[in-house]
Amino acid sequence: MSEQKNTFGLIVGNRGFFPDSLAEAGRTEMLELLTGLGYESVCLSTEDTNLGVVETYADARKCAELFKENAEKIDGIIVALPNFGDEKGVADAIRYSGLDVPVLVNAFPDVMTDLKMGQRRDSFCGKISVCNNLRQYGIPYTLTTLHCDSPSSAGFLNDLNNFAAICRVVKGLKRARFGAIGARTGAFNTVRYSEKLLEATGISVETIDLSEIFGMIDRLKDNDRKVVDYIESINNYTVTSGIDKNAILKMAKMGVVISDWMQEKDLVGSAIQCWTSMEEYYGVVPCTLMSMMSQSLLPSACEVDMGGLIAMYALQLASNKPSAILDWNNNVDDDPDKTILFHCSNIAKDLLKSSCMNYQAIIAGTVGKENTYGTIEGSIKSSPFTYFRISTDDVNGKITSYTGEGEFSGKELDTFGGYGVCHIPNLQGLLRFICENGFEHHVAVNLSRSKDVLQEAIGKYLGWEIYTHG
């Protein structure tokens, strides 16, 4: 999957008391900026309205119709105020477009030497009025870090890229289709979830039984071209020396079947039953396949943890980087703000300093080492990271979540699986929140700073409950 680029609907506000030249220049500046950054835009032309801006009710209706025609393309709306702007025109354009997408409001700054009539913008004041109207209309919106900021500034560039990430998360989750492969493992009540609550938000879950997966695998010949190619992909992906070739063949066949099924169903991620039916009745763990999928931006979570998978996908949308699913697993001596995040593991290799395939040491004790090949082992890189978790609160009929940021140290341990030693400020407070609110033992992580993006996308635009730690 390639990195996603956004298309923005651009509304440039104008007000007759202020010079048209400011609105005209501001519109050109914004369009050039978006194009230069690789974003596409939908904006009134100078033939549609005076200067291609929105000032009157008639302008607003024209803008709304243009946005309606491009509704499938538009991921978010940017409101640019090169001068005070017409507050009703902006709000009406969004209302009558019918679009339910994130909105960014930006005001251009005045220059202290240009405050005479004909030069002054008063966008500072106009932004407050526009936001007042949007609030009255029930239209949620996002603010820039500074009340006024020039499109050419580094601060606005950061705000714009964050807004693009917000749009990706909102649009991606509203239309997401995920695959649940196998039943929830009997011993893991912790990963129960409500398909109906997810469906009510636009998230669909397609299910398939492990018996169907195993049945399709049985029909594949060892020399099938897809199987041979998948074996090569596995060997190119990680170090496989010392691994039974028959185990790699089994992984390749499973990889082909899952890949074909996901393409057929148009799925963006998967959650797979593993513990321990996969090992007992097929003879491998699916971790390498899951790592490869996550690396390819098709996230995959263990134990049919749909909430964890959705969190992985949200982080991926925010950062355009692969995510991982980990356990809140160990304390670090007596340091209250450090923990070890661990899994057996299926961590995408981009998160690891280095990786190799091995066997699953925990399950091997009950099903035999020969039936547990396929884990991806390694330590997570030294990096800032964002953690995120969603859960369906079936009792109260809502989706809840939490997020925050920390730092992986890159420290290596004498252990197995995939792991990362990390520091999280007030970790004890976070763990208390997790336990008191009945969240799962899994958490999704991503080597990015995406906390603010998730808080805005999840809480403001999707309307899910979110706690932001720190």
**50-85: pLDDT as tens digits:** 999 999 999 999 999 999 999 999 999 999 999 999
Span 456-465, average pLDDT: 98
- Confirm if 11 and 80 have CB atoms less than 8 A apart: yes
Q: What CATH number does the domain containing 186 carry?
A: 3.40.275.10
Residue 1 lies in a domain: no
pLDDT band at 187 (very low <50, low <70, confident <90, very high): confident
- Using the structure block, give the residue that is written with the tokens 């790592």: 291
- Confirm if 55 and 20 have CB atoms less than 8 A apart: no
Span 433-456, average pLDDT: 98
Span 208-224, average pLDDT: 97
Q: Do 225 and 363 sit in the same domain of this protein?
A: yes
pLDDT exceeds cutoff 80 at 208: yes
Q: Do 289 and 324 sit in the same domain of this protein?
A: yes
In order, the DSSP letters of 224-244 are: -HHHHHHHHHHHHHSB-TTS-
Q: Do 157 and 44 sit in the same domain of this protein?
A: yes
Taking only the tens place, the pLDDT of each residue in 338-349 is 999 999 999 999
Q: Do 138 and 193 sit in the same domain of this protein?
A: no
Q: Do 206 and 77 sit in the same domain of this protein?
A: no
pLDDT exceeds cutoff 50 at 1: no
Last residue of a domain, one of 128, 159, 174: 174
Q: Do 129 and 182 sit in the same domain of this protein?
A: no
Span 186-194, average pLDDT: 91
Q: Do 257 and 297 sit in the same domain of this protein?
A: yes
Do the bridges between strand 383-393 and strand 373-379 make them parallel or antiparallel, or are there none, so unpaired? Answer: unpaired
Residue 384 lies in a domain: yes
The residue type of 5 is: K
Provide the pLDDT for residue 3.
Answer: 57
pLDDT exceeds cutoff 50 at 221: yes
In order of 137, 158, 205, 270, 357, the CA distances from 248 in angstroms are 58, 44, 29, 20, 10
Residue 2 lies in a domain: no
Q: Do 101 and 248 sit in the same domain of this protein?
A: no
Q: How far apart are CA 42 and CA 331, in angstroms?
A: 51
pLDDT exceeds cutoff 90 at 5: no
Provide the pLDDT for residue 18.
Answer: 80
Taking only the tens place, the pLDDT of each residue in 276-312 is 899 999 999 999 999 999 999 999 999 999 999 999 9
Last residue of a domain, one of 174, 203, 237: 174
Higher pLDDT, 395 or 187: 395
What is the chain's percent helix, strand, coil content, to nearest 5? Answer: 40, 25, 35
Q: What CATH number does the domain containing 134 carry?
A: 3.40.50.10940
pLDDT exceeds cutoff 90 at 113: no
Q: Do 164 and 181 sit in the same domain of this protein?
A: no
Q: Do 81 and 195 sit in the same domain of this protein?
A: no
Range of the domain at 417: 177-468
Q: Do 248 and 156 sit in the same domain of this protein?
A: no
Q: Do 380 and 414 sit in the same domain of this protein?
A: yes
pLDDT exceeds cutoff 60 at 459: yes
pLDDT exceeds cutoff 70 at 320: yes
Residue 133 lies in a domain: yes
pLDDT exceeds cutoff 90 at 116: no
